[in-house]
Chain A
């Protein structure tokens, strides 16, 4: 841990930053999880059919990111080998102690939901794959049960409804909880706020939608697949709505600090106008919020009159800007809260590391790992729809395009 150069009076133990890049990355990753899951639920549960082309991908993306959500935490711990203490002896009064259980419950729900969505395809691929080596893999994924009769599917659907109804609050819980970790720290005036969980959740949704939108367009460009204009429009619309609520709350939080002007505002004002000026006012507010608000607003207002190419370009650019917005917001909260001392009289000149255990490179590697999982997944199971979208040469027999069952159309993607 570095001993940073300080300005003013910083309490001796606070000349260090204890939570760095990894703790910025952790809420960023869980945010993408929550947002991607909401997108898939908008299709699966709330009948938003325009989002059907990305609903499976969003679910897989949520799962892939969730697999690595613990990695930044483990990398940050002083004793990662003791990490399971959080589940062995959880302290009920600690907000953090819930993490192990909330995380594993949500991971389980998400895994089962994906499993149910893909079960028919898994069984079909087990029976018809051209690669004998993959057969045991599909058999394991099917848990050895190859029953895809209509009755079995009906049971699956019932379970899915139950899981989805648990999954949405669980996704909100997982991310609202991350906000609570910060918002419930009364020792830190920059963090302590009941708005924190809500802001974290909404910015999580924004980042998840942005990531799904960005990946959908870019991967379809790379694979020369046809991009569904309605889907991109719906994604932009969803991102726009959530961005508006998110930014409104973020500004409310800041304005409230300024208007109440408590003892701590003297230093918080210097913080936001000084050390956080670029990451807050330039990246988070101007580039990440104001620009996407107007650009995506143009798409939302003019709908079909927007040329497809322009819409896709806007989707990619705004996706990047929104991801930057949320990354900056995480940075401003996590690092901003540690850049000033609890003496309320001094600042740290924090410099981010490039190398090292908690450096930027380690962070970038962790951010890339979910995409490796998504790639491996895409070789085993189709990302953008049913097994019929898989390359023909991978299977001995292509299944007929499935007809939606009456009354259950939303679950047959």
Chain B
């Protein structure tokens, strides 16, 4: 060992590096890491802390009870309120006048509250004819064709909700009543 002094110094440097690494590691690694598995246990809580942005149709009906009851009794009760109106969490916060800051998310684009349905796009999602859709689902190939086959006048402003009530599926014919005599076959 008399002529290995440089190796002693080298090994000392290595030892310092290893001890330093272990010390830093003990400071940096969260205490709950590896408690149950090779992960940080509180990551589950972090994930669980997120708020549910879709509040559910029952929650909507607490205030909008008239629409809610009609929707529930009608044939169109499988699509939920939030399918067309967007998630309701922001809306409830705005209505309750709670501070709504700290929501850097896509629902901000829905006017800070709730999405305003177009009255035609939402219908097309399900009721536009596509080969792959089950034939039991009522669907149309195009809005123009559909309106004209019922003797209506199609304009670019024509909306599905002009005749169809999306909440109840009840059909009223405001435009047709003025222009057409023939009753629409149901």
Number of residues of chain A lying within 8 A (CB) of chain B = 21
Q: Which residues of A contact B38 (CB under 8 A)?
A: 89, 91-92
Q: Are A88 and B29 in contact (CB under 8 A)?
A: yes
Q: Are B6 and A147 in contact (CB under 8 A)?
A: yes
**Of the residues B2, B6, B34, contact of A151 by C-beta under 8 Å:** B2
Q: Which residues of B contact A108 (CB under 8 A)?
A: 14
Q: B131 within 8 Å of A by Cβ?
A: no
Q: Chain B 31-45 against A: per-residue CB contact (8 Å), 1 yes, 0 no? A: 001100010000000
A92 to B5, CA, bound (A): 37
Task: Decide: A119 near B29, CB < 8 A? Known: A89-B38, A91-B38.
Answer: no
Most buried by B among A87, A115, A143: A143
Q: Which residues of B contact A143 (CB under 8 A)?
A: 6, 9-10, 13
A84 to B28, CA, bound (A): 10
Interface residues of A in 95-111 (CB under 8 A from B): 108
Minimum CB distance partner of A143 in chain B:
B9
How close is B151's CB to chain A, nearest CB, in angstroms? 41
A-B contact count (CB 8 A): 39
Q: Are A151 and B25 in contact (CB under 8 A)?
A: no
A213 to B145, CA, bound (A): 75
Most buried by A among B25, B29, B38: B38
Minimum CB distance partner of B22 in chain A:
A88
Interface residues of B in 1-18 (CB under 8 A from A): 2-7, 9-10, 13-14
Q: A376 within 8 Å of B by Cβ?
A: no
**Of the residues B4, B9, B13, B29, contact of A155 by C-beta under 8 Å:** B4
Q: Are A89 and B33 in contact (CB under 8 A)?
A: yes
Q: Which residues of A contact B10 (CB under 8 A)?
A: 112, 115, 143
Task: Decide: A145 near B9, CB < 8 A? Known: A88-B29, A152-B4.
Answer: yes
How close is B40's CB to chain A, nearest CB, in angstroms? 9
A143 to B7, CA, bound (A): 9
Q: Are B3 and A155 in contact (CB under 8 A)?
A: yes
Q: Which residues of A contact B2 (CB under 8 A)?
A: 151
How close is A90's CB to chain B, nearest CB, in angstroms? 9
**Of the residues B4, B6, B21, B33, contact of A119 by C-beta under 8 Å:** B6
A149 to B13, CA, bound (A): 23
Q: Which residues of A contact B34 (CB under 8 A)?
A: 89
Minimum CB distance partner of B6 in chain A:
A145
Interface residues of A in 149-167 (CB under 8 A from B): 149, 151-152, 154-155, 159
**Of the residues B6, B14, B33, contact of A142 by C-beta under 8 Å:** B6
Most buried by B among A87, A88, A151, A152: A88
Task: Decide: A145 near B5, CB < 8 A? Known: A89-B33, A91-B38, A108-B14.
Answer: yes
Q: Chain A 118-146 against B: per-residue CB contact (8 Å), 1 yes, 0 no? A: 01000000000000000000000011110
Q: Which residues of A contact B6 (CB under 8 A)?
A: 119, 142-143, 145, 147, 152
Q: Which residues of B contact A87 (CB under 8 A)?
A: 21, 25
**Of the residues B5, B7, B9, B25, contact of A88 by C-beta under 8 Å:** B25
Q: Are B29 and A147 in contact (CB under 8 A)?
A: no
Q: Are B21 and A159 in contact (CB under 8 A)?
A: no
A28 to B4, CA, bound (A): 37
Q: Are A147 and B28 in contact (CB under 8 A)?
A: no
How close is A79's CB to chain B, nearest CB, in angstroms? 14
How close is B21's CB to chain A, nearest CB, in angstroms? 7
Q: Which residues of A contact B5 (CB under 8 A)?
A: 145, 147
Minimum CB distance partner of B4 in chain A:
A155
Minimum CB distance partner of A97 in chain B:
B38
How close is A119's CB to chain B, nearest CB, in angstroms? 7
A144 to B25, CA, bound (A): 30
Task: Decide: A88 near B3, CB < 8 A? Known: A112-B10, A145-B9.
Answer: no
A88 to B20, CA, bound (A): 12
Q: Chain A 333-352 against B: per-residue CB contact (8 Å), 1 yes, 0 no? A: 00000000000000000000
A108 to B10, CA, bound (A): 11
A89 to B6, CA, bound (A): 33
A325 to B143, CA, bound (A): 59
A91 to B33, CA, bound (A): 12
Interface residues of B in 28-71 (CB under 8 A from A): 28-29, 33-34, 38
Q: Which residues of B contact A89 (CB under 8 A)?
A: 29, 33-34, 38
A115 to B10, CA, bound (A): 11
A160 to B62, CA, bound (A): 80
A155 to B8, CA, bound (A): 12
A159 to B25, CA, bound (A): 30
Q: Which residues of B contact A147 (CB under 8 A)?
A: 3, 5-6
Most buried by A among B10, B14, B21: B10
How close is B47's CB to chain A, nearest CB, in angstroms? 18
Can you list 21 A-B pairs with a CB-CB distance of less than 8 A? Answer: A84-B28, A87-B21, A87-B25, A88-B28, A88-B29, A89-B29, A108-B14, A112-B10, A142-B6, A143-B6, A143-B10, A143-B13, A145-B5, A145-B9, A147-B3, A147-B6, A149-B3, A152-B3, A155-B4, A155-B7, A159-B7
Interface residues of A (CB under 8 A from B): 84, 87-89, 91-92, 108, 112, 115, 119, 142-145, 147, 149, 151-152, 154-155, 159
Given A112-B10, A155-B7, 14 other A-B residues pairs in contact with their CB atoms under 8 A:
A84-B28, A88-B29, A89-B38, A91-B38, A108-B14, A142-B6, A143-B13, A144-B9, A145-B5, A147-B6, A151-B2, A152-B4, A154-B3, A155-B4
Closest 9 CB pairs of A and B: A145-B6, A152-B3, A151-B3, A143-B9, A145-B5, A88-B25, A155-B4, A88-B29, A143-B6
